[in-house]
Structure 1
Amino acid sequence: MDSRYAVGDLRVSDAEREPVIERLQDAYAEGRLDHDEFDMRMHLAMTAKTQSDLGAVTRDLVPAPRLAPVPAGHGEAPTGEDRMLAAAAHAIAVPTLFVGPLVLMLVSGKRSEYVRRQAAEAVNFHVTLLLLTIVTFGIGGVVYAVAWILSAVAAIYALAGQSFRYPWILRLVK
């Protein structure tokens, strides 16, 4: 075996590509990359042969800033993917009521506590609205206009990695 190769000339494995792909996803979620550049860099990361090729993909991306401190007892800061899924939990609740966030909570909540908490918050909010509409024989449905605005605000908070709690709701799902 020839040991004259520099570290940058060593071939990379799929396991070494994963952190680079995650960093690209985080940078895209943060708005550091536009869609075309994200696609190009993902392609370069997936086809990189050596350490040098892989390093060039993220060389100009600084480490992701932390927008808010993580509350004690809630694990690590959410990744870009976690923030996107949490935002999707709030946004998908508009057309699907509580069903969309419930599915996200059950599927992605196992992997991420942050996604689970945000999806549970969206489920609780939309179940509360549904109960209000049923109890008032449909008159409470007017509140759904406000629900769309609050869901958009919650999605923005989730994208920023911050927790959002809807006001005045029943917290049936923990």
Structure 2
Amino acid sequence: MESSYAVRDLRVSDDEREPSIQRLQEAYAEGRLDHDEFDMRMHLAMTAKTRADLAAVTRDLTPVPLDSGHGAGSDAAQATAEDRMLAAVAHGIGYPTLFVGPLILMLVSGKRSAYVRKHAAEAVNFQLTVLLITIVTFGLGGVLYAVTWIAAAIAAILALSGRDFRYPWILRLIK
């Protein structure tokens, strides 16, 4: 067997295609690719025979550097699109379910992703704080729920963009 093949000339497997396909999907979701270009690149990724063919599909789609000034940590840098979506859901699901929805997400999806766990724990702490204020003020704190929709929307948007968010002035009972 001839060993003069370069690594880039080796044939690719389906497992090697997956990261490229995921990067194309993320780039499309970020608006870096239009629909036609996304379709073309997906076709090229699925039919790539060598590592060089596959690398050419995503060569100009380098990851976006995360701005450390906005609290993006290593968990956020490794968060997949699914992780970002689940983190955003953790912030939004607290309103119909109080702290139960974010708690379930934290326990189920938080095992798989530190990013989802961090956002879900923050949402649980936020919902518990608002609930405690409502109980202590004999229901008058319920007015606070109208204002907290804004904070949860901001948290969900930042979670979708891959950034961390901490609610101000809450009890952090769960870490």
TM-score by length of 2: 0.75
Q: CA deviation at 1:16?
A: 0.7
Distance in 1, Cα, partners of 2:163 & 2:49: 37
CA contact (8 A) 1:26 1:79 kept: no
Closer/same/farther in 2, CA of residues 42 and 147 from structure 1, 3 Å limit: farther
Gapped regions of structure 1 (runs ≥ 5): none
CA contact (8 A) 1:21 1:42 kept: yes
| Other structure's SS at 1:32 match | coil
CA contact (8 A) 2:99 2:124 kept: yes
The superposition leaves residues 14-57 of structure 1 with CA deviations (integer Å, 9 ceiling, x where unpaired) of 22112213322432453323567556644653454443543343
Give the paired residue count. Answer: 174
CA contact (8 A) 1:109 1:116 kept: yes
Closer/same/farther in 2, CA of residues 143 and 70 from structure 1, 3 Å limit: closer
Closer/same/farther in 2, CA of residues 47 and 114 from structure 1, 3 Å limit: same
Closer/same/farther in 2, CA of residues 145 and 23 from structure 1, 3 Å limit: same
- Please provide the CA RMSD for this pair: 3.3
| Other structure's SS at 2:127 match | helix
Aligned twin of 2:122: 121
Aligned pairs (5 A) from 1:26-45: 26-33=26-33, 38=38, 41-42=41-42, 44-45=44-45
Percent identity for Structure 1 against Structure 2 = 72
Gapped regions of structure 2 (runs ≥ 5): none
Closer/same/farther in 2, CA of residues 28 and 90 from structure 1, 3 Å limit: farther
TM-score by length of 1: 0.75
Distance in 2, Cα, partners of 1:38 & 1:96: 37
Aligned twin of 1:172: 173
Closer/same/farther in 2, CA of residues 3 and 150 from structure 1, 3 Å limit: same
| Other structure's SS at 2:77 match | coil
